[in-house]
Amino acid sequence: MNTILYFQSAAKTSAPDKLAGVREITDKKGLHVQIIEEPPTRKLVSELCSFWHPIGAIVDCGGEYNDIDAGIFENLAAVFLGHNPETLPSKCLHVMNDQRETARLAARELLETGFANFAYIPSAEKRYWSNARQKAFCEAIALNGKKCHVYNPPDGPANEVARLDALKHFIESLPKPCAVFAANDKTAEAVLAAAQLAGISIPDKFAVIGVDNYTAICERTSPQLTSVEPDFRQGGSLAAMMLLAAARDGGAWRGKRTTTFGPLKVVRRGSSRLLMRQDPHALAALDLIRREACCGLKAAKVASLFPCSRRMADLRFVRATGHTILDEIHAVQLDRAKEILKNKNIQLKVVSDFCGFTHPNSLRKFFLKSTGMTMTAWREAQTRKNASR
């Protein structure tokens, strides 16, 4: 069976969805995807090629793999997912998130709050995608006749407390009410913490949106964080299709060398004023789902919170959050399943009992479809990751 090497980054926010997108394409072609959870080096790539004789490689450059030397792949067809475009040779094949459209979607969402003041908070680490989002967001705000304040973090090393204090002072200086776009969910989490330290009411005086829809962050903040969700699954599919075309055509391939995937949706939660203003019933539905999704909660019970038909309730929920009631229930259940799987002492057959699924097979099928991995493979990957730390 032909094999594709897939170098998976440790980025918790996007890795499962990208892999699921890759497998949507490779499964149809009968290809084996060999996941490598180590950063690629020339020696490692050479040894893997000798062992697998792969037709190509996909390199997920999220997280700490932001800049990888493309030269180590030599004559092996390779597609880079999310590599810094400024440091990637122009001849390389590259799939990346459309930072401009991500920022413009965030701008549209925040402009609809009716606030007159706006701000952008960049990533604490200097990242090309943070700079690109800043530029596009400021341009979108200016296009609509508004000014965007941009936070400039202090230079030099600083501890967590000092960084949070500096951010707090900036937030206090902003005119209120203010709508804030944070570079990603991790940054937005710090923004919410700093705003609360400053005693600023969220979302009435201070609305916040992040990027990635990383539920481990979005659903632990108070209030929960609204976030732009990139279409990571499409990114994985595009990378697989591009790699297959490159492997087929070899050096003669003349296709487009950089492809982008856009944002999928805005997942609205309590940190943005729009959700509360638009539909308080949707906010109550979200609270119910997060409390009871893993206790056998049915979509019909959630819909009953709305003073309308089941179909109209789902439409209102989609309008407010960007996804259906059932999708939200499943998202909470998946997050719980992952938390339980981290405990190696819990047998796989009983995981479903803690997640609201009536049968273990139902959870197995749902988990595979959602993550692109079996529960066993996911647990083993987590074990290896923890052992390498």
**pLDDT single digits (tens) 114-138:** 889 999 999 988 889 999 999 999 9
CATH of domain 3-97+231-263: 3.40.50.2300
pLDDT above 70 covers what percent of the chain? 93
Give the per-residue pLDDT at 388.
58
Give 221-224 contacts, CB < 8 A, sequence gap 24+: 221/188, 221/189, 221/192, 221/271, 222/192, 222/196, 223/192, 223/269, 223/270, 223/271, 224/269, 224/270, 224/271, 224/286, 224/290
Spatial separation of the C-alpha atoms in residues 281 and 303, rounded to whole Å: 9
Spatial separation of the C-alpha atoms in residues 191 and 182, rounded to whole Å: 8
Spatial separation of the C-alpha atoms in residues 329 and 189, rounded to whole Å: 23
CB of 93 closer than 8 Å to CB of 243? yes
Mean pLDDT in residue range 177-193: 96
Q: Are strands 226-230 and 263-267 parallel, antiparallel or unpaired?
A: antiparallel
Spatial separation of the C-alpha atoms in residues 381 and 234, rounded to whole Å: 23
Give the per-residue pLDDT at 331.
84
Give the per-residue pLDDT at 11.
66
Domain boundaries, given as residue ranges, for the chain? 3-97+231-263, 99-230+267-274, 279-388
| Residue 277: pLDDT band with limits 50, 70, 90 | low
Q: Which CATH number fits domain 279-388: 2.30.30.60, 1.10.10.60, 3.40.50.11900, 1.10.630.10?
A: 1.10.10.60
Give the per-residue pLDDT at 280.
80
Domains 3-97+231-263 and 279-388 share a fold: no
Give the per-residue pLDDT at 246.
86
* pLDDT above 70 for 295: yes
| Residue 200: pLDDT band with limits 50, 70, 90 | very high
Mean pLDDT in residue range 333-362: 87
Give the per-residue pLDDT at 383.
78
Alpha helix positions (H), 147-303: 160-173, 185-197, 215-218, 232-249, 273-278, 280-292, 299-303
Instruction: Using a cut of 0.95, tell me whether the model's pTM lies above it.
Output: no
Stretch among 13-22, 243-252, 301-310 having the lowest mean pLDDT: 243-252
Spatial separation of the C-alpha atoms in residues 121 and 186, rounded to whole Å: 11
Stretch among 25-29, 179-183, 240-244, 275-279 having the lowest mean pLDDT: 275-279
Mean pLDDT in residue range 301-313: 93
* pLDDT tens profile 63-111: 666 678 888 998 899 999 999 988 888 889 999 999 999 999 999 989 8
Give the per-residue pLDDT at 308.
92
Please tell me the CATH superfamily of domain 99-230+267-274, with its number: Response regulator (3.40.50.2300)
